[in-house]
Every structure is written in structure tokens, then in C-alpha cells.
Amino acid sequence: MFEASSLLMVMPELILTGAALLLLMVAAYVGDRATQAISWLSVLALAAAGVALLCPTTHGIAFDGLFRADAFAAFAKLLIYVSAAVCIMVAPRFFAQGGALRAEYPVLILFASIGMGMMVSAGDLLTLYVGLELNSLAAYVLASFMRKDNRSAEAGLKYFVLGALASGILLYGMSLLYGFTGTTGFDGIAAAMQGGISNGELFGLVFVLAGLAFKISAVPFHMWTPDVYEGSPTPVTAFFASAPKVAAMGLTVRVAIEAMGPGSSAWQQIIIFLALASIVLGGVAAIGQTNIKRLLAYSSINNIGFALIGLAAGTEEGIAAVMSYLAIYVVMTLGSFVCVLQMRDADGNPVEDIASLSGLSQSRKGLAAAFAIFMFSLAGIPPLFGFWAKFLVFDAAVGAGLVPLAVIGIAASVIGAFYYLKIIKTMYFDDPAPEYGRGGSVIENGIITVCALIIVLGYLLNPVLDSATAAAAQALF
């Protein structure tokens, strides 16, 4: 039954929906002259939605179980809103060179954020799919945002075609689960699986996980990631690598624990395979890359593999480790991509070739140091915060009795360390390449500085992070 209290629980989504519709009308009537104002108003809307998450009245189960506003969803949404805001703020300087920034860019990110918020709060297969498609439809347009750039148009088309395929796989799995359990609610599906999983339910489980694996770009459903990351405008790539990753991973965790919890023995094997395949392929395939965005695409595949190790544990500690990993991963990724935004030649044109970083430590010491911090952290080198993220998921796996998985994961992480260290070697030891153009904007430099400080001094935040992730994990059990 519909209750007014349900509206309070979806207040962050209502704020973003109202802001997105209003700003869309402004963009339609005023045009691109209002782009800067619309961008900052979009950031303000995301901040307001983030504040609404902290209100006690926005927590509970809304619309008869369709929507769950709990600590898990709030933690994931906070990461999504921060990532979205950063990707809006860094866009103007990138698009200024080609004059391609339009007023619709921040509005599309707002619509995508609404969809991602629904994804992490889904309590029903119907909510899951609506949120997923709302995010995806905005993402397809964002990928092809630079209409005159062939790479961007190709990225949007590839993302759309493969995304449609993944949606079909997911829908088929959802129909099987509904057919064999008689319900689309996560609680009802879990209750139906209590007495054991039938073959029909097992097939449904596999297809749903396959569709979700596409969204988190886990191997073998990763094929779209390198091409889309390379072809999309860099601020859009930064967005794809952060916010949708958190949303898709959060959705996968919620579906696995809440809807398919009784069938953990079945999905645990699938998750272990996805984790190991993603870690190994993400590490090996990145070694020969010469484009920095393609390398970071394989890095995101590699990192999702490590996060899945925490999910494979299937315990509260494992889920808390996944959420900690995602929080630290978002900081490392946003910092890395804002550094990439500063790779520009003397004429201001974006440069993506890794070889262009040669000798960067001599011409741009601050940028080289920040890049090195993010690369060392992504490689999991102590004492940086990226090491702590990996330690948590491995510790959760060992605690759940998955010692072989942890051992293989630790051994495979050495492969990933190679290509991260190769970038550092290029910046500090190779002969200097032609210098980049002028430095970044105040906003870009500020974001890089904040991200680098979090990576270096992040252990001071551990008490807050640990309590937040523990509360998020407890909400699912």
C-alpha cells in the first residue's frame, strides 16, 4: 500500500529528479549559454541529495518492499553523488578545446545518478531493471557526447549494442526467477530458495549474474570496457569508471545476499570464477597497452576482480570489505583520471599516449608525484590506502575459509603491479618527451590534491570508514 512516508525515503531521488527536469527545461529554452550555471546547480542538487541521505526519515522500506533506503544504499549513493559531482566539475576545461560541452551534459549525469540510486536501493527485480535502464540510457548518450569525434560515436554505439544484449540476458534471468519462485521481490525469492534451488532457479540465477557481470565489466563480460573507455570523452570515462561501477557492484552485492542468500553455494562458485578471471585478464591484458585510458580500463577490470573476492566470502566482513574497497577505488580512480585530463600538448589538445609521460617528473613535478601516488596505490603498495583495500578483501576471504582464493589473488596482484610501475618508471626514468601545455585549473588541481592526501593519509579515516562499512554490511543481513 502507498504511504506518504515512502516519499520521504526516496527524497534523494526526488531532489535529483526535480532538479534534472527543471535544468532540462532551462537547457531547452536558454541553450548552451546556461551550461556553466546548470553545471553548478547540478553539483548543488547532488550535494542536497547527499545531505538528504543523512536524515533519519529517509531510512526504511518504501513502496511495499520495492525500494530499500538503508545504510548500505546510503553509503553507495554517497560515493555515486561525489563521483558524479567531480565529473561535472572537471568537464568544462576538457570540452572547451572543441566547444563540445552542452548544457545537457550535467543533466544526463543527474538522470544517470537517479538510476544508480534506484539500483543500490532495489528490493525487487522490477526496481532493479528500471534503475539499471535509466542509468544505461543516459550512459549511452554520454559515451557518444562528442558527436564530431568518430571514436566517441563508436564508443556510444558499441556500448548501446552490448548493453542491449546484457539487458536481454538479465531480463531472461529475471523472468526465469519469477517463473520458478512466483515473485519478483528479493525477500520472496530468498524464501523460495530456502528449501533448495531447483534447476529453473539455478538457470535464472546464472543469467541474472551474467547480466550484472556485464555492468561491472567482469571477465568474460568485459569486452566493451577498453573500447568505450578509450573512445568516450575523458570526463565521461572518469564517470564510467567510478559511479556506475559502485552502483553495479552495490546492486550485485544486494542481489547476491538478499535475493539469493540461501543459494550461496551456487553463486559463490560463479563469483570466484569472475573474480579470478578479472584479476588475471585485467592484469595481463594491460601490460601491452600504449593508451593510458585503455590501461585504466583494464585496471578497472582488475580492481573489480579484487572487490568480488570480498563478495565471494559471503559474510558481513566480506561485504564491509567490498564497500571499503569501492570507497578507496573511487578516490584512486577519480584522482588518476583528473591527472589524465592534464595530459595536453602545447596547443591544449588531449594526449593519451603513455610515452608522452616520459620525463614528466622534470617538467611537472607535482603532477608526476600525484600520478605516482595513485599508481602505487592501485598496485596495492603499502603504506598507501590501496594496500588496505586489498588487505581487507583478502582477510575476509581467509576468514570465510577461502584461503586458496586469497593466495591466488595475492599472487595475481603482482601482475597488475607491473604495468602500474611501468608508468612510474616512464615518468621518472625515461628520456623527457615534449612538455605538456599549461597546468590544470584550480578545480582539477584541488581534486588531485585532495585525492592524493586521502590515499597517503587515509588510515586516519579508518575509524569512520570501518563503522560506515560495517553498518552498510549489517543492513543486508
pLDDT in tens, 254-271: 999 988 878 788 888 999
Tell me how far apart the alpha carbons of residues 117 and 203 are, in angstroms, rounded to a whole number: 28
- Residue 253 CA: distances (Å) to CA of 35, 209, 313, 327, 475: 36, 10, 11, 15, 12
Tell me how far apart the alpha carbons of residues 194 and 380 are, in angstroms, rounded to a whole number: 39
Q: What is the pLDDT of residue 139?
A: 92
Tell me how far apart the alpha carbons of residues 280 and 284 are, in angstroms, rounded to a whole number: 6
* Count of structural domains within the chain: 1
Q: What is the pLDDT of residue 477?
A: 83
Q: What is the pLDDT of residue 1?
A: 46
C-alpha triplet 35, 86, 214: angle, nearest 5°: 105
Q: What is the pLDDT of residue 34?
A: 84
The candidate with the shortest Cα–Cα distance to 294, out of 225, 342, 380, is 225
Task: Give residue 375's Cα distance to chain centre.
Answer: 18
Q: Provide the 8-state DSSP code for 62.
A: E
Q: Model's pTM, two decimal places?
A: 0.93
Sequence-distant (6+) residues with CB within 8 A of 346 are 434, 435, 436, 437
Supply the range of the domain harboring residue 282.
Answer: 4-474
Digit-coded pLDDT (tens) for 159-174: 999 889 999 999 999 9
Digit-coded pLDDT (tens) for 221-240: 888 889 899 888 889 999 99
- Exposure of 141 by Cβ count < 10 A (0-12 exposed, 13-18 middle, 19+ buried)? middle
The three cell numbers of residue 412 are 595475481
Q: What is the pLDDT of residue 194?
A: 85
β-strands 67-69, 60-62 pairing: antiparallel
Digit-coded pLDDT (tens) for 410-436: 888 888 888 888 889 888 888 887 877
C-alpha triplet 451, 453, 458: angle, nearest 5°: 95
CA dihedral 95, 97, 100, 105 (to 10 degrees): 10
The candidate with the shortest Cα–Cα distance to 376, out of 455, 283, 275, is 455
| Segments of the chain with pLDDT less than 50 | 1
- As beta bridge partners, residue 104 has none
